[in-house]
Amino acid sequence: MRPLRILALSLLALLFLGAAGARADVAVLLEEPYSYDGAFAGTGHAAVYLSNICAESPVSLRRCLPGESGVVISRYHRIAGYDWIAVPLYPYLYAVEKPQDIPLFADVKLEASLRDRYRRLNYEQMIPDGPEGETPPGDWYELIGSAYDRTLYAFQLPTSAAQDDAFIAKYNSRTNRMAYKFVTNNCADFVKEAVNFYYPKAVRRGLISELDVSTPKHAAKTFVQYAKKHPELHMTAFIIPQVPGTIRRSKPVRGALESVFKAKKYEVTLLALHPVVGGAFAAGYLLGGGPFNPSKNALVFSPDGDLQAPLTAEERKSYQKGLDEMTKANSDAAPKREEATWHKLLDGAQLRLDAAGHPVLAVRNGDEVVEVGISRGNVLNSDAPSSIVQDLLVARMREQLRSGHAPKTSDLEIRQDWKLLAAAFENRAVTSNGPQSSSSAEIAGGGTN
């Protein structure tokens, strides 16, 4: 069954990739909560992705040109006084303009540096530097690099060129001043209005399950329910995994009543203090349709825009075993946590661009400063010691292979990581005038079976 499943998903992915020239799409982006939102409410964020509409400016839309990847639009609070802002897809997700520049592994400092660099290049008039030329405070960071902080889920249906033109005309002509209200006019309300422009009544509020408040998860849930009633539309669902790194992982997204129903510390307290109220919360949650798993049957979005089948549990365990064997065979020291080593290395690093314009980190290695490539395009092409590159790649792979509530990668992407890591160990072996290990050779030949 596995080969047939891969074939079917690959054909679906090819249709998606070929859609740019044949059709356009509108997608609900459901984004997991993190930080205080993850610890308390857990409702996350919602946005709209339009594959054939691009940003003429942050507050003006146009049709995309060939090769452009579309735009993400959402409602924001306290960002330059605007209600909605349009951000190109890759900057919105990764704070870089090209897929080949996406970091393989990130921490909070690198994330902040990439965000600020993109702000200075593209949004400085809208979001100027501070009085001393420093990075300004505020919520502007929400515009850039969302996938460093959280996992996102996308639910996508086709649109027509005429619909896109009408959408552009409507949003370019209407007033765009801050209108955010937490209960009555939030990010999910914006998504509801935008998506319903294409598919009327496809996204709804939850009268019972959400206490008549728009939430990101309910917006996605009702959109999926609409697509199930219209199978001829062929909805595509995919996951955009959180970038591997030392940044805290995001939490599962929840609806309004679900936050109470699934958080035992709240539900038990309600049942103890007022059983009728606690029971009402539980009944409201179940009457609203119960659980909605956004990762169910979803493909995995890779940095190059491809969609692939997620890594299975069996494949993940096999790769974990192979990684453990390879790192043990190539280790010349006591076992270590590569994440901690890389995090320490980043502590004094500075973000720069290499000769080709790709991001690198200038890090101190003993008494000298070396540049370390941080993307697929340059990670093996710098003068950094091979041990540094190995720590980066091993740390990335360990994060990719951890279990979680949503898939983190696909088999194709892991195989690409294997090849990079095998090359890094091979470089080390050549530098040391030693033979390549059998584990490294096995991985270079295609990974585990």
Which of 105, 111, 147 is closest to 390 using CA atoms?
Answer: 105
Report the alpha-carbon distance of residue 72 to residue 69 in Å, rounded.
10
- pLDDT (mean) for 82-87: 97
Whether pLDDT at 203 is above 70: yes
* 26: number of Cβ within 10 Å: 26
Q: Which of 170-184, 278-292, 346-360 has the lowest mean pLDDT?
A: 278-292
Q: Quote the percentage of the chain above a pLDDT of 90.
A: 57
Span 195-206, average pLDDT: 94
For 296, counting Cβ atoms within 10 Å of its Cβ (0-12 exposed, 13-18 middle, 19+ buried), the class is exposed
Q: What is the pLDDT of residue 237?
A: 97
Highest-scoring range by mean pLDDT, 150-159, 282-291, 365-374, 384-393: 150-159
**Residue 298, Cβ neighbours under 10 Å: how many?**
21
Span 279-302, mean pLDDT?
Answer: 72
Residue 202 has a pLDDT of: 98
* pLDDT above 70 (res 262): no
pLDDT at 299: 97
Mean pLDDT of the chain: 82
In this predicted structure, which of 236-245, 333-342, 358-367, 432-441 has the lowest mean pLDDT? 432-441
Q: Which of 1-10, 82-91, 370-379 has the lowest mean pLDDT?
A: 1-10
Q: Among the residues of 263-310, which ranges form H helices?
A: 264-273, 275-287
Report residue 48 as tokens.
């709209």
State the pLDDT at residue 256. Answer: 61
Report which of 257, 205, 218 is spatially closest to residue 46, judged by C-alpha positions. 218
Condensed to tens digits (0 to 9), the pLDDT of residues 422-436 reads 898 887 554 444 333
Please work out, in degrees rounded to the nearest 5, the angle formed at the alpha carbon of residue 220 by the alpha carbons of 70 and 411.
65
Alpha-carbon distance 345 to 51, whole Å?
38
| pLDDT for the residue numbered 379 | 92
pLDDT digits (tens, 9 = 90+) for 142-162: 999 999 999 999 999 999 999
- Tens of pLDDT, residues 403-417: 889 999 999 999 999
Q: What is the pLDDT of residue 265?
A: 42
Confidence (pLDDT) at 35: 82
Q: Which of 9-18, 150-159, 330-339, 401-410 has the lowest mean pLDDT?
A: 9-18
Residue 49 CB: number of other CB atoms within 10 A? 24
Range with the poorest average pLDDT among 170-179, 316-325, 336-345, 416-425:
336-345
Mean pLDDT over 331-343 rounds to 63
Rounded mean pLDDT, 9-22: 45
| pLDDT above 80: residue 370 | yes
Q: What H or E segment, with its residue span, contains residue 431? A: helix 411-431
